[in-house]
Amino acid sequence: MNAFTLILIVISLATFVAGQLLLKSSLNNAAAPPPGRWITSRRAGLFVAGILGMTISFFLNIGLLQKLDLSFLFPFQGLSVIIVTLCACVFLRERLTVPLVAGALLIAAGVMCVSASGG
């Protein structure tokens, strides 16, 4: 796995995390429409931006899949477990509980084992 592949994986991860955060924030109360309206431009904008991030990440993933083993490559998404959890705490002000952090670390460690064992 060379530097170029790594950069692509990083970009795919970053757009994925951004997409998830944007989708969640589009559903949060801060973006909720007032009674009588079914949607606001803020909610729609966040939703579209989230979809865009996920789409870019999706196609980058397919490109990477064409070159690498699925069960090796796929778990790189697992790094996003930690990143998404941290970013959700920082940007979306969600609570981090001990079981959640412990579980996230276990899952991230497991995912790294699975990806390290590949080729």
Residues that bind other proteins (CB under 8 A): 8, 20-21, 23-24, 27, 58-67, 69-71, 74-75, 78, 80-81, 84-85, 88-89, 92, 94-97, 99-100, 102-118
Question: What radius of gyration do the chain's Cα atoms show?
Answer: 17
Q: Which is nearer to other proteins, 37 or 95 (CB)?
A: 95
Choice between 35 and 71, CB closer to other proteins:
71
Residue 39 Cβ vs other proteins, minimum distance, rounded to whole Å: 14
Q: How far apart are CA 57 and CA 26, in angstroms?
A: 19
Cβ 49 vs Cβ 22: under 8 Å: yes
CB of 20 to other proteins, least distance (A): 6
Residue 68: CB minimum distance to other proteins, A: 10
Q: Measured from the CB atom, is 20 or 41 closer to other proteins? A: 20
